Amino acid sequence: MKSGIVKFVLALVIAVSTMMGCGSSSSSSPSTPAPKLAQTHYEALVDPAWVNTLITGGNPGTAGTPSTYPGNGYVVVYTSWYPRYATNEISATGAGLPFATAGHIPGAIFLDTYSIETGPTSEYGDGYASPSNSYVKELSALQAFFASMGITKDKTVIVYADDDISTMTAGRIAWALLYAGVNDVRILNGGYKAWVAAGNTVETGTTAWSPVASFGVSAGHPEYIATTKDVQDVIGRTNTGSIIVDDREWNEFTGATNSYYWWFDEKGRIPTAKWIGDWVDISSADAQSFIPFQEAAYKWTQSGFTPGKKMYFYCGGGARSAMYTFYAYMMGWPAANYEGGWYLWSTNHANARETGIPQ
């Protein structure tokens, strides 16, 4: 155990030294320098006490109460994929759903998880008609959509969920907010179950969005999304400062299965991709909380990953990889979500693939 910890510390020292310019210059090509040491964002993962202090302080409240709150106003977002998935219901009020009947954090608004996507199809029924339907909205459209919810680039946005994949559900939306350009995105660790367990106030009934005229002038954060060209550059080694990271199930990675996707049937992985584990590997057993950052850093480093290379995460479509990207952002590891993932890559049969266990 001690030798493992020593290896972990040495690996981090080497990685940081490389990023600070102390390592060998041959580790990346001149056109693709290794990512700079990123800032950690541990504050993006908050507990019920933090949220309770925020909402009892009013809106916008006071900067620094709770700690790290900028004081620019806030929006609490409860997100769920289930109504759209089960009955194709797109709700903005939560009417007739557990959000309204069982309760929610006071003042929270409801968001259908699929609404951040281009659409019009979703996982309902026959599933997506094409990869473009599952892709996140174009940046300006995404910003306008968030403005219709009352979200601006300067407001603090707290996201939470209450389902059997809450970390993934909340992670998908948190990543989209980050990509859009929201400066302060938080996830309630433990989700709604943690809120209730802490004995906090619960509100029932519907809520309504309070649109704002503008999201605010922002170029967004395109560094948190990876394109097919980005992925191809890694495969072709014109970008040696990044790595393709597969966060699907092991059997998806090896090509033994296509998991639960019924709208396309393609097996395998993107060439050169390294497997980091499925979404459950950074979630608690009940999928409501994330594992400690130090635990993930240790596991990733032991598996050969390093913050010295930007991680292009991909999954089947973009939900698991969005979650991983936001988690890496909190850890300070450079990362981007290959939105569209295996669905986008594999349905273009001109793209190469690999199968089996890597040698």
What are the boundaries of each domain within the chain? 2-35+223-346, 42-197
Residue 212: CB atoms within 10 Å? 17
pLDDT digits (tens, 9 = 90+) for 282-337: 999 999 999 999 999 999 999 999 999 999 999 999 999 999 999 999 999 999 99
Query: For 42-197, CATH number?
Result: 3.40.250.10
pLDDT digits (tens, 9 = 90+) for 183-227: 999 999 999 999 999 999 999 999 999 999 999 999 999 999 999
* CA–CA gap between residue 88 and residue 102 (Å, rounded): 21
**Helix ranges restricted to H, 63-116:** 82-87, 98-101
Q: Which residue has the tokens 């709150």?
A: 69
Q: How far out from the chain centre does Cα 181 lie?
A: 14
pLDDT-derived band of residue 31, with 50, 70 and 90 as boundaries?
A: very low
**Residue 160 pLDDT exceeds 70:** yes
**Residue 114 pLDDT exceeds 90:** yes
* CATH architecture assignment, domain 2-35+223-346: 3-Layer(aba) Sandwich (3.40)
**Residue 268 pLDDT exceeds 50:** yes
**Residue 21 pLDDT exceeds 70:** no
pLDDT of residue 359: 85
Q: Tell me whether domains 2-35+223-346 and 42-197 share a fold.
A: yes
pLDDT of residue 151: 98
CB 119 within 8 A of CB 140: no
**Residue 25 pLDDT exceeds 70:** no
